[in-house]
Structure 1
């Protein structure tokens, strides 16, 4: 019997040692974690100026394609490519020899017709006097008057031919219809051009410039109100250039198109921008920035303070030495901040840095900071 009891005395001390060891490990695992180091920020009210952006294109207020109105060889080019042009300035000249010859010929034909008219006029006057004396047959006078009428019609036709030939001569010189900037010439000296076909160049105005963009038909009321109020020459309409920089001059609304596009449900709006530095170019793609009607004093928090879970947004609100998750309703983004519509109030402390280590109820060690 003693042999059976002895192993029990040997096993009991070992079992006690194992139980004590497990108890120490469980005590270590249940020890609270150290507080999380975080940076906090007090919610403040500020000017929440936001903008709605629309893709747009720069277009000139006036633009014309200069085409050859006469056929022949280019005899003169009187500008430099890309030059600013004055209204009426001579741009191109097409060889005028054949057009000048046509004018000279038509003028000579006019002189012949005028001479025939004078002869017919004298005969008609002479026969009219003789007819009063009943010295000639009536038929002779009628023929003389008919010849006079024919001569007069020939004069009118000859004058029309002169006008037409002079028009052709005038068309051989192309002048600027308005002031603007001319593009790169599509022809060179000596090139053969064809009437009404050959494109010579393009001329467009450059200051001010128009910017066209399309808005949904639901926004017609908004933009009509802006047009009627005359909002312009302030920060209501600004431009973001292709490189992301802001255009230094504000614009004003000029017009809203007459009809909605039935295929897209949009309507075109045109803005006018000054262009003193020639920074806006025809065809440039830009973004129109329209100041939101909801701009004003609002609660603002840093973007980095916001967390998202399953489509809901929340922040960590500081409560003493711990934090609590708080759902918020957000508005427009304003730079590195975002508008809070509901969920927190002004001067509420929230966590801005160290968020990734937090969960609801976490203990913290807070350091106040800026946004």
Structure 2
């Protein structure tokens, strides 16, 4: 019984020795094979490309981040109230000096101006008649003075209505680039309403 156990133990020990020896031998062989592989491995060939050299001018420059300010910039507003009839510009458009940018409805002002001009023509005719009568000696100084005052008043009224009519248009005070429109067709604008920015 004792002898049988002894042989079993010896057999197990021998088996363990063989297994351990095999593992050690395999590791040694693997390390040797890896070293040999890397020792004999050739580096890959380098890729080389060619290009035809062409002469060109080099302009020196430096990239930088900064802020650009316009020399002149203004927020354009209307001088009088009215309904937008026409918009003669679009965003980021370059416009000339004194270019018309906006037209407000001016039908009433045009009618008033036409009536004032007709009245002024009539008053000027009456003044010329009074001057002629005075020259002939049949007119009075009072009549002539009244005719002069009336003609002068009607001429002033024409100038006033023409100025009002001119205010129905918004023009560029200088040449430059307009921004994004702040108004729409048919919109009612109060006096001083902002229309667009202009920068040169």
What range is the shorter-chain TM-score in? 0.5 to 0.7
SS where residue 108 of structure 2 aligns? helix
CA distance, structure 2, for counterparts of residue 91 and residue 64 of structure 1 = 14
Q: Tell whether 2:84 aligns with 1:74.
A: yes
Structure 2 residue 181 is matched with structure 1 residue 185: yes
Instruction: Report the equivalent of 1:201.
Output: 196
Query: Partner residue of 1:119?
Result: 129
Superposed CA deviations along residues 250-289 of structure 1, whole A, max 9, x for unmatched, are xxxxxxxxxxxxxxxxxxxxxxxxxxxxxxxxxxxxxxxx
**Quick one: distance in 1 between partners of 2:163 and 2:194?**
20
1-side partners of 2:67 and 2:133: how far apart?
72
The alpha-carbon deviation at position 57 of structure 1 amounts to 6.2
Q: List gaps (5 residues or longer) in structure 1.
A: 1-55, 129-140, 206-371
Q: CA deviation at 1:194?
A: 2.0
Partner of 2:71: 61
TM-score (norm. length: structure 2): 0.62
C-alpha distance in 1, partners of 2:70/2:97?
16
Structure 1 position 123, deviation (Å): 2.0
- TM-score if structure 1 supplies the norm length? 0.34
Query: Whose strand proportion is higher, 1 or 2?
Result: 1
What pairs up with 1:205-244 in 2 under 5 angstroms?
Answer: 205=200
Secondary structure class of the residue paired with 2:76: strand
Following superposition, the deviation at residue 83 of structure 1 comes to 1.4
Using the TM superposition, give the Cα deviation of residue 166 of structure 1 relative to its aligned residue in structure 2, in angstroms: 1.0
Residue pair 1:70, 1:94 contacting (<8 A) in 2 also: no
Aligned partners of 1:150, 1:58: CA distance in 2, in Å? 62
Query: Structure 2, unaligned stretches of length 5 or more?
Result: 1-65
Distance 2:72 2:154 in 1: 38
Q: Quote how far apart the aligned CAs of 1:146 are.
A: 2.1
- CA drift of 1:93 comes to 0.5
Separation (CA, whole Å) in 2 of partners of 1:150 and 1:57: 65
Rg comparison, structure with higher value? 2
Divergent runs of 4+, >3 A: 56-59
Alignment of 1:220-299 (within 5 A): none
Alpha-carbon offset, residue 98 of structure 1 = 1.1
Q: How does 1:43-54 map to 2 (within 5 A)?
A: none
- Given candidates 112, 116, 126, the residue that maps to 1:106 is 116
Question: Residue 95 of structure 1: CA displacement?
Answer: 0.6
Distance in structure 1 (CA, Å) of the matches to 2:67 and 2:149: 56
Following superposition, the deviation at residue 58 of structure 1 comes to 4.4
Which residue pairs with 2:164 in the alignment? 168
Q: What is the rounded CA distance, in whole Å, between the counterparts of 1:111 and 1:89 in structure 2?
A: 32
Q: 2:70, 2:133 → 1: CA distance?
A: 63
**Cα distance between partner residues in 2 of 1:70 and 1:187:** 15
Report if aligned partners of 1:76, 1:94 keep a CA contact under 8 Å in 2. yes
Contact kept? 1:82, 1:181, Cα under 8 Å: yes
Root-mean-square deviation (CA, aligned residues, Å) is 1.8
